[in-house]
Every structure is written in structure tokens, then in C-alpha cells.
Structure 1
């Protein structure tokens, strides 16, 4: 047994890491060893925004619009709770990648038996397909609303993001991060204007952030609430984050890793705070514009787009809505493609040419989306968006439990293993997610 293998097993891993995650950009961005804390943080900032993109994708729009129009501001508390859980889980995902040099998929393949790893891979691919379905359909709807492009052609056009990712990643990972942050800023500006125009009731908004027992008692409200949970805490984002934090050249020392963990946590927390504001804004606009006016059954993005103009009294309101939706859909397909690559390479340990990997992961989403759109048409797309988010929430536990297990393990994490208070908090979140999903399943069946 060589020294590397012995050291690996001593650290709680069965085998040495056999490949780098996202090899084309692995440790490609330098972190300054000297300078102010702000300078170092800015060099590390970026991965959190790619992660935050998944928290404002078109699936979120479907659940937020449905929740706001049906129940007013009540489900704002679910968005807040989901975001707080997301902040914790993404911090753990970043820590796992920084400390172990493995993304979550690689860690699962090392730790579990081959059959278990294959099951986890299939479940994760299903989750990514459900998520991509929402993103692709959302982009297609935006193209249809803004430019009149038929949904089927809109779905096919989303394949262009494969070329965008390849082009930008070839130039450097910073270009992908810059594009994502720009699109994210576009969404934020659009909804800031929408919120101002919709004139929400401030007291109702503040009260909405306080949890209500009615959410658990009302099956319809619970269904939308778990859809929001599934749309907010995205399982593939945990795999994504554990990989892209490794694009930074942090020092491979105890001090260097500790500093990297701190900056990574700041980065993802700040980015997710912006995601919280945007998610909350979507629900607030829906509640103020639709629920207040008596339109309590708006779960369709098309209806929301067309009703904003007469209700808010400005055609620009609908245009801003469409532009924000297009930005959200394109942003999400970019990061979804990266997540698909990470999951496929991590679980299966296969190495394919970059263009082929991108094409495969994109087709996994586009082919079902074309079939679904052709069969269901415009009428069925919104039901599919909400259903896709519920599917995501069911799969969430299969990503969360391994993540919590690994980061709690002192053999795998060494001095960076979660302290007792974080172990308790992390397991509480994991159990809460699992119980909530089981409860929804029982309510749905019976």
C-alpha cells in the first residue's frame, strides 16, 4: 500500500481521488495570499451566485405565483424557512468540496456500494431532468410571450446554452460567473419595479413572514408549500456547489482551507439572500396584483403575464415580467448543464469530451421537454412546472442525508467536521425535509 492510499484510508475514504471535479476549470482562479480581507473575499466570490440561480428558476415562479394568488402573503414564511435551510446546506456543500477535494457525487461513489451509488445517481438524474424541464419550459414560455416563438421551437432554442457554456468556460470560469450575476441583476431590477407598481400591503407582507399553522392543516396550501421547498432547496445545487468552490486556488493547508470555507460561506449566504428577495418579490407581486383583485387561481405564467398589464395599468409590467422570466430560465439552464456534468462524472467516473458531456446533459432535459410540450401544449405546462418542483423536494433527502453524514464524519473531515450544534441543526433540517415529504405523500395518496 503506497503512502497516498494509506493516507486516504486513514482520512475515512476508501480510495484516493482518481479525478478532479470539472477538470477544465479546476483550481484555475488564483486567490491572493496577501491583501485585505475584502480583496480575498472578492477573489473567492462567484460560486454562490451560480448556486443562487437555482433558487429563482422558472419552477420557483410557478409555485410562487400559485402560492401568492391562492393564499396571499401567507407562504412568505415558507420561502424564508426554505432559504434559511438552503444557506445551511450550501455552506456544508462548499465545506465538503474545499476540505476533501471531492464533490458530493464523488464522495457518494467512494463511500457507498456500487448499487447504492447507482441508485443515488439515477435519482439525481431524475431530479436534474425535472429541474431542467422547468427551466427549459420556462425559457420557452418567455420566448413565446415576448417574441411569439412557438413553445416547441423555444424548447429547442435552449440547446444554444451548450455552446454558451463551452465558449465562456474556454475563456475562463469568471466569464460564466459574470454572465450569471448580470442576468441575476436583471431579474432583481425587473421585480423591484414590479413590487413598487403592485403596491403591496406592508403589514400583510410582514405578517406573511411569520409561520402559520394553517400551512400544515390545509392540504392544498401544504402541496404548494412543499413545491416551494422543492423549488428553493435544489438537490443538484448541493452537487454543483461542492464542485465549483474548487475552481479557486486556495492553499491546501489547514489555515488555507479554513479561510476558503469562511469566504465560501459568506459568498453563498449573500447570494442566497438576494435569491430570497427575488423569490419573495415574485410571491408578493402575485399576492398584491392577483389575490387582492380576486384572481385566486392564477398558477399559469401565461395568465400572470397577460393580467399584469390591466391590473397594474402598464404594458411595461408584462414586458418586465417576460424579460425577468427569460433571464431566469437562461441562467438556470447554464448552471443546470454544469450540475449535470458534475453528477455524471462524479457518480460514473467517466471522462468524455467537453462538448459531448454538455450535449448529453442538455438532451436529457430537452428531449422530455419537447415530448411533454408537444403532448400537453400550453395548458399543461404550468401543472408540469409545479409537479416538477414537488418531484425535486422528494429527491432532496437523497442528497441532503449523505451531505450531512459526510460533513459530520470526523474521519472524513478531520478538524473540519461539524461541531455538535451544527450536527444537531443539520440533522434537524434533514429530518424535517424527509418528514414533510412523507406527509405530503400520505396526503396525496389518501
Structure 2
């Protein structure tokens, strides 16, 4: 118990002394006399998960289970409605040809998430807190604004995705703006689930990921994609006969997969585990298990993304509006007017994607698709709000109440989303999502430069600094 208290004091000391050298708070060896502070250290969450005592085994499933959670919450950002829309458009516009971009982006994302987790474990601070201590005021404010812009763009896609899912599930009876208001309300409710225990919150996210896997896996089995073409597209970097639309889609895939605010989020989530940072072996062990957990989580998210790309690549690549219109007419769909009688290539988004699945594969395909989108939207809006709170608290050093922080971060992102929902039709949101995915790509340097810089500093990371 005394060791835990000393560790807490050391981490508090690192958070309080803004002007001090960074070396002491990332030190692995204990200080001679840690400062005793009035306030105990706490993460954003109100509890920390204990790690089982050391065993002589090289690998322990009990320890992996104790470290499991942060990586799956992080992986939600790889499964948000913006990702799903990017996936389905990639399949519809380029077939299987851009799967290698998705694979490459996921691998790069894993490496960056590993750096984020390592920074949080070694220093006891998340990326926004380190930026606060390392950067002067002007670049720090610019960084904060850029990350907030990325969060707003992502949140717009997530909330609109939920609203579209409500619209599809209610057969159009719930308009877009009403779906946004429902999402805002239930997100507030779900955000306070961690009051019942951090592990219960993480289990809830696990359930939502499972719903997504079952929903999109069902569509994959239903459509039966060509496995040879799928493997060729995944492992052979090519894009024959690709034009500007496919190039924009490739850039959008990178922005949809590697989200800048997710790097800030992951570096904060790992602080929810009890790791004695004064012991090098404990820090090394935590880094190892967090990396294993992140790899498993991102592999699952990659499979779910592949399900969506493959479904639309197999069923709707090179389809024309005329063909889809005829199929929807034949099945008595109420959404035939979405597809004009011309030979232009089919343009799909989350909404139209559900409709065409319903036309070609029956109403069950539409409703299961909507359930998957709803799970993706609900989970990602919650993790997006956590990101906003970590970023705002870290960069601005806010000491507000929990409810005030949630209200402010929600309001910043929700206001533009509500305006879009009121003034834009549910059937015409494709252009906005394309733009927001490319915007995410443009925001990446504002997370990449800090995380690469800080994890390479020996003064900050000691023996855990990046090698060449």
C-alpha cells in the first residue's frame, strides 16, 4: 500500500510542477523523498484496475485480461460511422482495389497507438498534458484548436450516423434532427456508466463491438464476396484504372482510420491501470500487454472494416442507378426515388447503403445494417467525448466539475452537427462525409509530430525512448 501511495505522490508531483524538468516524473527509479501533496492522484476515471502479482511465466492470460480495455475503447475510433462510410464508398467506387490502403493504414495506426500507450505508461501523463508542459503558449493553443477541429469533424460523422440509423430503423418516422437529439441525450446517460465501475463500462463497449461484428459479418456471409479478389486487393498494392475519385477515397481511408484525437485518447486510457512506474520491469510488462491488447483490438476492427468493403465491392461495384432503381422497384421499396433513371455509377453513403442492401437482399439486411451503424455511432460518440475532455483538460489545465466538462465538450461538437441535421436532408450527406474524412487526414500532423517527438526524448522516456 505504501508503494502505491508513493507512486501516486510521484505522479501528482509530475502533474503539479509545470516548470520543472521532465526528467523526474518519468524516472523509473524512486525519488529520494517524494513530495507529499494534499490531493491524491486520480485519472479521469474514478478507479484504477489492479494488476495481478508477478508470476514466473513469460505470458499470463490473467494479466492480459487485467490490461484489456483501453485498446478496445481506442479501437472504437476505427469503427465509427465515418469509417463505415469510407469503407462502403471504397467498395462501391473501387471494388477490392483499395483494401491494401486500409490494411496499411491500420498497421500504421497500431504503431502510433503503441507509442501513445507507451507515453501514458512511462510518464503517467497523457499526450495533451505533456504538450501543456513542453510547448510554449502559442503552439500549445494552435495544437489544441487543431485537435478540437478533428474531434468536431469526427463527432459530426458519429452523431449523424446514429441519426441515420434511427431514421432507417423507424422507416423514416424519426427525422435526422430528432435522431441527433436522441443521440445527444443517450450519450449523456451512457457516459456516466463508469460510475458503476470501469470494468462494466469497458464490457459495455465490448458488447457494442460484438454487435457490430455480428451485424456486418451477417452482411458479409449474405453477399459471399470473391475471396480471391479480396486477398488480391488486400496484399497487392495497385489501383488499375483509378481516377481522382478513387484517389480521394484512398486519402479518406487514411483519415477515417488514423484519427489524431484517438492518439490523445489512448495515452489517457492506459492511466486507468495500476502500474508502479518506479519499477522498470513493471513498466516494460505494461507496455507489452497493452501492445498485445491493442493488436487484438485493431485486428478485430480491421476484420469488421473488411466485411463492409467486401460487401459493397462484391454487390455494388460498377452498378448503375438504373440497375438499382429496377431492383428496388421489383422488391417494392419505398426509396426508389433515391436512384434516378440514368446510367451514372451508383453513389452510396450510410443511408443509401442500407437502402440498397434492403432492395437486393431483403428488409432484414437493411435493419441489421442499421443496428450495426447504431452500435458504431453510439460507441464512437462516447469515446469521442472522452477524447474531448482529456484534450481540453490537458491543454487548458481545466479544473471543472465532471458534468461541466461533459456539457462543454459535447456542446462544442454537437452545435454544428445539429445545424447540419436541421438544414440538410438525410439523403444528401455524402459530400460532407468525404470532406470530413479528408479533413481528418490533414489534421494528422498535429498528433503525429508531438507523439513522435515526446516518445523519442530520452529525458522524458528514459530507457523507453524510441530507437532509430
The verdict on how the C-alpha distance between 1:417 and 1:8 changes in structure 2, with shifts beyond 3 A counting, is farther
Which structure: larger Rg?
A: 2
The answer (yes or no) to whether the contact 1:78–1:211 under 8 Å persists in 2 is no
Q: Distance in 2 between matches of 1:171 and 1:285?
A: 38
The verdict on how the C-alpha distance between 1:201 and 1:166 changes in structure 2, with shifts beyond 3 A counting, is closer
Deviates more, 1:384-393 or 1:71-80: 384-393
Structure 1 unpaired stretches of 5+: 421-446
Instruction: Using structure 1 for the length normalisation, give the TM-score.
Output: 0.88
Shift of residue 356 of structure 1?
A: 1.2
Partner of 1:242: 267
> Does 1:302 find its partner at 2:375?
no
The answer (yes or no) to whether the contact 2:88–2:309 under 8 Å persists in 1 is yes
> Does 1:231 find its partner at 2:248?
no
Residues 308-342 of structure 1 deviation map (CA, whole Å, 9 limit, x = unaligned)? 12322x22111110000000000101101100100
Q: Distance in 1 between matches of 2:258 and 2:23?
A: 29
Partner of 1:441: none
Q: Distance in 2 between matches of 1:176 and 1:216?
A: 46
Partner of 2:334: none
Alignment partner of 2:104 out of 77, 81, 84: 81
Instruction: Using structure 2 for the length normalisation, give the TM-score.
Output: 0.84
Residues 268-305 of structure 1 deviation map (CA, whole Å, 9 limit, x = unaligned)? 11100001001111111111121164564333222111
| Higher share in helix | 1
Partner of 1:125: 148
Q: Secondary structure at the match of 2:455?
A: helix
Partner of 2:161: 138
The verdict on how the C-alpha distance between 1:215 and 1:346 changes in structure 2, with shifts beyond 3 A counting, is farther
The answer (yes or no) to whether the contact 2:351–2:427 under 8 Å persists in 1 is no
Q: Distance in 2 between matches of 1:139 and 1:216?
A: 35
Aligned length: 417
The verdict on how the C-alpha distance between 1:20 and 1:217 changes in structure 2, with shifts beyond 3 A counting, is farther
Alignment partner of 1:169 out of 194, 198, 205: 194
Alignment partner of 2:368 out of 320, 329, 334: 320
Partner of 2:434: 386
The answer (yes or no) to whether the contact 2:93–2:318 under 8 Å persists in 1 is no
Alignment partner of 1:203 out of 228, 250, 274: 228
The answer (yes or no) to whether the contact 2:90–2:246 under 8 Å persists in 1 is yes
The answer (yes or no) to whether the contact 2:77–2:259 under 8 Å persists in 1 is yes
Partner of 2:299: 273
Q: Distance in 2 between matches of 1:45 and 1:13?
A: 25
Partner of 1:437: none
Partner of 1:112: 135
Within a 5 Å distance, the mapping from 1:149-164 to structure 2 comes to 149-164=174-189
Partner of 1:9: 21
The verdict on how the C-alpha distance between 1:155 and 1:218 changes in structure 2, with shifts beyond 3 A counting, is same
Shift of residue 162 of structure 1?
A: 4.2
Shift of residue 217 of structure 1?
A: 6.6
Deviates more, 1:212-221 or 1:286-295: 212-221
Partner of 2:342: none
The verdict on how the C-alpha distance between 1:91 and 1:24 changes in structure 2, with shifts beyond 3 A counting, is closer
> Does 1:290 find its partner at 2:316?
yes
The answer (yes or no) to whether the contact 1:63–1:299 under 8 Å persists in 2 is no
The answer (yes or no) to whether the contact 2:191–2:382 under 8 Å persists in 1 is no
Alignment partner of 1:30 out of 50, 54, 58: 50
The verdict on how the C-alpha distance between 1:21 and 1:287 changes in structure 2, with shifts beyond 3 A counting, is farther
Shift of residue 379 of structure 1?
A: 3.5
Partner of 2:217: 192
The verdict on how the C-alpha distance between 1:20 and 1:133 changes in structure 2, with shifts beyond 3 A counting, is farther
Partner of 1:425: none
Q: Distance in 1 between matches of 2:40 and 2:207?
A: 29
Q: Distance in 2 between matches of 1:198 and 1:72?
A: 14
> Does 1:258 find its partner at 2:284?
yes
Shift of residue 214 of structure 1?
A: 3.4
Q: Distance in 2 between matches of 1:264 and 1:79?
A: 23
The answer (yes or no) to whether the contact 1:13–1:110 under 8 Å persists in 2 is no
Alignment partner of 1:218 out of 243, 249, 252: 243
